[in-house]
Amino acid sequence: MNKIFEEYAIQLKNQKLFEMEDIYQKHFPEFVPFFQKHFQETCENITKMQKAGRLGEISYLEYTLLYTNMLQKKETAEVRIYDNNWYFGDKQQIVNEFDFSALFTKYHELSSELMAYRKRFAGEASSQEIQSFLFSCIRPFYCYIISIFRYSILPCISKEPFLSIQRTDKFEINIGEYMGYTEAIYKENKKRTSEDSLAWFSLRREFEYAFEDFSGLDFTGADLSEIDLRYSDLRNAKLTSTDFQDSMLFGTRFCNANMKEADLRYCLIHEADFTGADLSGAKFTAAEAHAGVPNHNKWIITGYQRVSFRNACLKEADFQRTYIQDADFTGAVMDGALFQQSQLTHFELSPEQMKVINIVS
Amino acid sequence: MDYFLLKQIGTISIPKEKEHNQEEPSVRIMENISSLEKFDYLAEEALFSDRVKLLLEQYLIEEDWRPCTFIEPKKQEQKTFWFLPPLACTPDNVVFASNGIPCSVTINEEAFARKSSGIFYIPNPKGTPFVIVHMSIAESILRRGFCGLGFNRLSTDT
């Protein structure tokens, strides 16, 4: 491929990914029902198959992007299910298809603009080379589908038809490629105990706890400082007075957890989900969070969603000297929560919330 | 720390690679050898170019490849292609469409998962064998940016 053309292609890919980022940030709530509806439909298919005896317990459910489909201009992911032998078992089945073409508009634009630009180079960039380049761009665009799914899944797993699916003790929902790059968006482990988990936490592994299921476990008063709990599932966990100081809590799911007096000082909490959590007296001093991407020079990952404190109890929580931006405080109880005057521009608090917080200079 | 200081503490010994049988090359004399540059696959005898062999070797680690060398004596030039090695998996049944191309295969998935490397032939009564690849290999090839290969999905009956 001609060097000038290659540079143009890379720059255009970057531009289209940032345009996709804008769509993702602005229209995210509109995508959620689309994904949830499809997931419900998939669950219905699975339960029907299980009731008919055509399918046993499942261990993995995957939304699989197929390059072989992309080659045929078919932008559909296959929803495949597996037993506990995963790819090595002979019980793989396709239970649904997911058409993501509506979310690939920026990829379509990249493709058509590159093909049009190619004409200027009189044969120096072959259509195969462009195809090869375009295929290398599929994964970053598909990352947006992974991200939307990740944030759409939680309401679906707490209700039917998902609850009726016969699942093994360890169960995962993954999104990604076939026997390639995949991300877990939800994991279940019915056998995990608080004691096992604390022993594992003591090893302070990096990223190993991501999407792992610690929901409902009791870590009251535990020392979980300087730990990497990115995207871990701590919903409904008992975390009273738990020490999370200096921890990485990107995307951690704390929904409805009991986090009274929890110490979250110096934590990174980008896109963490504290929906419905009891954070009375929690300390957020110097904690950091923001939505979107840190810079617009080079696209690296999908931008963060807003950290959510929706319907959380933040009575007397300490937000002094935090670097939290774009947080969602809708419905949060904030009586006596402590803020600095200079920070208030970063927070979208309702007039009612403004009346009950404590502001220090 | 996840880093190590590398140093030598004796003679470095490298585990022996599997000894591949040096198969006798098949030699073909031809004119205009440069015309082969355009091709990576010669369907008539299932011959693959060096670059495709390099790719397929990633999935066929144990197999021995027999070379097929094309020579143009006048120019003293040669180019090597490779016969696809014999592959273990045999489908239980194959259905051919009216145009003679396979449209469906029946495979014992359990045996396939244990034994096969994911690539196998289907003999063609009219000559050129059909090369079948498992989805894992088709996907692996495409996501690495290899273009110019077509993949028609077959229906399977297990």
A38-68 tens-digit pLDDT: 999 999 999 999 999 999 999 999 999 999 9
Q: For residue A61, which amino acid is it?
A: L
Average confidence score pLDDT of chain A: 93
Which of B112, B148, B153 is the closest to A68 by Cβ?
A: B153
Tell me the pTM: 0.85
Decide if A180 touches B, using CB distance below 8 A. yes
Long-range Cβ contacts of A2-11 (<8 Å, 24+ apart): A2/A121, A2/A124, A2/A125, A4/A121, A5/A117, A5/A118, A5/A121, A5/A124, A5/A125, A6/A133, A8/A117, A9/A114, A9/A130, A9/A133
Residue B118 tokens, joined: 């994911």
Closest residue in chain A to residue B141, using alpha carbons only: A67
Supply the DSSP symbol for B86.
P
Q: What is the mean pLDDT of residues A118-130?
A: 80
Residue A70 near chain B (CB below 8 Å): yes
In angstroms, the CA A114 to CA A119 distance is 9
ipTM reported for the complex, 2 dp: 0.83
Reported as a single tens digit per residue, the pLDDT across A206-220 is: 888 988 999 999 999
Question: Quick one: pLDDT at residue A109?
Answer: 96
Say if strands A358-360 and A338-340 run parallel, antiparallel, or are unpaired: parallel
Side-chain-facing half-sphere of A104: CA atoms under 13 Å = 23
pLDDT along chain B (158 residues), means of 10: 72 71 84 87 84 84 87 91 81 85 81 70 79 87 83 74
Closest partner CB to A179 (pick from B139, B147, B150): B139
Residues 6+ apart with CB under 8 A from A233: A186, A187, A211, A212, A213, A214, A215, A253
Query: Closest Cα to residue B47, out of B81, B86, B87?
Result: B81
Full DSSP string of A302-318: PPBPPPB-TT-B-TT-B
Give the Cα separation of A239 and A287 in Å (integer): 18
Any CB–CB contact under 8 A between A30 and chain B? Answer: no
